[in-house]
Amino acid sequence: MLVEMERDRSIIFLTADLGFNALEPIRENFPDRFLNIGIAEATMVGVAAGLALEGKKVIAYSIASFASMRPFEQIRTDVCYHNLDVKIVGTGGGFNYAHHGVTHHTVEDVAIMRALPNMTVITPAYSWEALEATKAMMKQKGPAYLRLGKNPPLDYSKKEFSFKVGRGFVIKEGTDILLISTGNVLDCALETAHRLEEEKIGNVAVVSMPSVKPFDEEMVLDRAKTARVICTIEEHSVIGGLGSAVASLLVASSNPKKSFHAFGFPDRFIKSVGDRNYLLREAGLHPEAMVEKIKTLLKSQKP
């Protein structure tokens, strides 16, 4: 973001009293373009809308649950209705702030943001996607929601990758089973693929889909032609996220009927207490559970 703010003096960064030990370089380098609005997310988005109406490109930053849900009315009516150049950045999507309890569990944000006209929704999986997504988001005009999580320790990028909003990336080639992942559960998707192939269940393709709205419909339909089973994987509710988007596409397409399953959080509150990995397991979002479900889907298919 420092590079973007150096390049474009119209960018103003707003925070809702968050980002300590992370945002200091922005505050120190651009004190006249860094505003701490305080713990008042609705006010922050209202201020962002006002600045955008004056020709500024505005970033509004907070924890994902508070960035998306507390100021929803202002995002909808002030930002999206007027198609303003405001970028909402939510950090700690999914269970990344699990230890703070249900107030910090961000499991509905993608669904909420997808429902808004004019809103672009991006959920990068790792550092390269996050960096390139930020650049792409800042180049385009209009509202955007960037959902950040904790990056897996590996870099999955390839030299031929070129980031574009609406584009997916084939991380692993395969034909029998298609796993489409978004956000920082890509490592979980790859581990699931590895276990399936170890058990000789099938040849597994893994696609990273950082752009959820719009998403790469052409890639999904092309890969779906050969896949017997298609699954989406996301650190989000099974309602309204990438799984819902892909399911709608498949139903509306002329592809033959496939076995489809959306892996995500069940339609209930997870009230257990623990760290992110513990809660992911509680929600069934881990390789062992996904492998068993995919095996069941394959067995249920008619020969």
For 158-171, write each residue's pLDDT tens digit: 999 999 999 999 99
Q: What is the CATH topology of the domain spanning 169-300?
A: Rossmann fold (3.40.50)
Q: What is the value of pTM for the model shown?
A: 0.95
Residue 150: pLDDT band with limits 50, 70, 90 = confident
Which among 146-150, 244-248, 254-258 has the top mean pLDDT? 244-248
Residue 152: pLDDT band with limits 50, 70, 90 = low
Is the Cβ–Cβ distance between 233 and 177 less than 8 Å? no
Residue 302: pLDDT band with limits 50, 70, 90 = low
Taking the C-alpha atoms of residue 39 and residue 18, their distance in angstroms, rounded to an integer, is 8
Average model confidence (pLDDT) across the chain: 94
Q: CA–CA distance from 173 to each of 97, 169, 202 (Å)?
A: 33, 10, 12
- Domain 2-148 carries which CATH code? 3.40.50.970
Which has the closest alpha carbon to 236: 172, 292, 297, 184? 184
Is the Cβ–Cβ distance between 49 and 17 less than 8 Å? no
Q: What is the pLDDT of residue 303?
A: 57
Taking the C-alpha atoms of residue 299 and residue 303, their distance in angstroms, rounded to an integer, is 9
Kindly report, as residue ranges, where domains of CATH 3.40.50.920 are found in the chain. Answer: 169-300
- In DSSP terms, 91 is beta-bridged to 63, 148
Residue 6: pLDDT band with limits 50, 70, 90 = confident
Q: What is the CA radius of gyration of the chain?
A: 19
Amino acid at 107: V
Taking the C-alpha atoms of residue 291 and residue 189, their distance in angstroms, rounded to an integer, is 10
Kindly report, as residue ranges, where domains of CATH 3.40.50.970 are found in the chain. Answer: 2-148
Q: Which residue has the higher pLDDT, 255 or 240?
A: 240
How confident is the model over 179-217, as pLDDT tens digits?
999 999 999 999 999 999 999 999 999 999 999 999 999
Q: Left, alpha or beta for 164 (phi > 0: left; psi -120 to 50: alpha)?
A: beta
Structure tokens at 64: 């994902």
Q: Left, alpha or beta for 283 (phi > 0: left; psi -120 to 50: alpha)?
A: alpha
